[in-house]
Structure 1
């Protein structure tokens, strides 16, 4: 049986707070920037994960970041191809 929307939201908020807590110990601004982008990408895709809740929410957060990174890589490749 899947989770209800309120419990999904609670789990997501909990996982995001865990990431934010980790960021308190990261002093490298580039890593902090990437982690903020991962959190933002998860929030962007949150409706998808609420519709089809994952079994492992940290996985969903990382998957969101990976999707965003691959999208950026694709955009950069297209820009390079157009300049060639």
Structure 2
């Protein structure tokens, strides 16, 4: 979908509301980080503007997939953090 949007030159708007993920060994064994890498790679290749809006909570590696934005907006009582 991101490639289609890039082709039509529409801006991408992402909404973030994800709590912290578990960073234990079990989470890594089941491949928690595997789906994140292709999203990062695809978003770094886009030519369109990417706008990220944190609506409530943005935590850890779930938001890494949509972290590479040109513009970040946060609502008044929202929080974005990378560490647990």
TM-score, length-scaled by structure 2:
0.30
Q: Which has the larger radius of gyration?
A: 1
Higher relative contact order (CA 8 A, sep 6+): 2
Higher percent of residues as strand: 2
TM-score, length-scaled by structure 1:
0.30
Higher percent of residues as helix: 1
